[in-house]
Structure 1
Amino acid sequence: MKKKNGLIGLALLVILVFLTAPVQPSLSAGEGESNGIGASALSGQFHLDHQVKIYVPSTVNGSTPIPKEVHDQYVDQALEKFSGWFGGATAVDGQGAWVDDSQKLIKENVTIVYAFAEKLDKTAINQVVDYAEAMKKELSQSAISLEVDGRMYFIE
């Protein structure tokens, strides 16, 4: 009888612990855990995990301006390609700078074309790199900056 009462008591304790435990909405594997949004209103919403950016330069050799219409043509081309590959794209104007071999600050206007992607596979990355290599050659650049998921690459 003591053993039976002990089991009933244990069962009641387990039920009590279960009933008083805080309820947390379930998240799919890894969703919201690392970015701090957890059980926010975004839980369960469709999202894109990857971001790809290409930096369209406005100068050659650091100081020779590329004609505005040529620059704009490359921005439009990048928007079209990224939209085709990833479903949409955005262009943002900015200013970049670096120090050249003679320790002179070189500044130039740049347009960053970026897209978010649900998945990035080898094929998608290779087409973006191929495009960056073509842009590098066509615009006589020493490198084109390409950013993938927060990591900067210089396509030389």
Structure 2
Amino acid sequence: MIFEPRYVVAAFGLIVSSPLVHAEEKEPLAVIELGAATERSIQDGTYSAGPSAAVEFPVIKDWLEIETGISPLFRAGQTEWQADVLFKKPFTINEHVEFMVGAGPQLSYATAGGGTKVAGEFAMEWMIWPTKDRKFGWFIEPTYSVTLNKGHEQAIGLTGGLMIALY
């Protein structure tokens, strides 16, 4: 009889082990980004730099990722703490390179009388995954921001560093 359990098990084993059957690519639960950030004011030319940490997680596969991060930026006589939430659209260039474009709100607080500022931020991010398993990689993210406060201060920035995928 063809429907004997041993034949069903054997057929199932052949189908599952077949190289034609591909498991869906495993998506990380989150990506941690650790690195350095710089920013230059377009109006007065002041420059600040400091460490950066962010976590990015997929919400809708291939359509929406959310990144939230924080950076203390230092310059002479002042420290500015920046936190942002970016909504990004990912594009896979190939198995080693991804590109994302996004925007979102930014909140900053500056010591020494700088006060609190609310801004809109636009970012483009290049992610380089040197290995196929995509556990570690590098990123570089240029940004542009404009404050919603009086004066509408504008700034350009650059963040880069190491990515660690969490599965």
Q: Give the TM-score normalised by structure 2.
A: 0.28
Q: Which has the higher helix share?
A: 1
Q: Return the structure number with greater relative CO, CA threshold 8 A, min gap 6.
A: 1
Q: Give the TM-score normalised by structure 1.
A: 0.29
Q: Which has the higher strand share?
A: 2
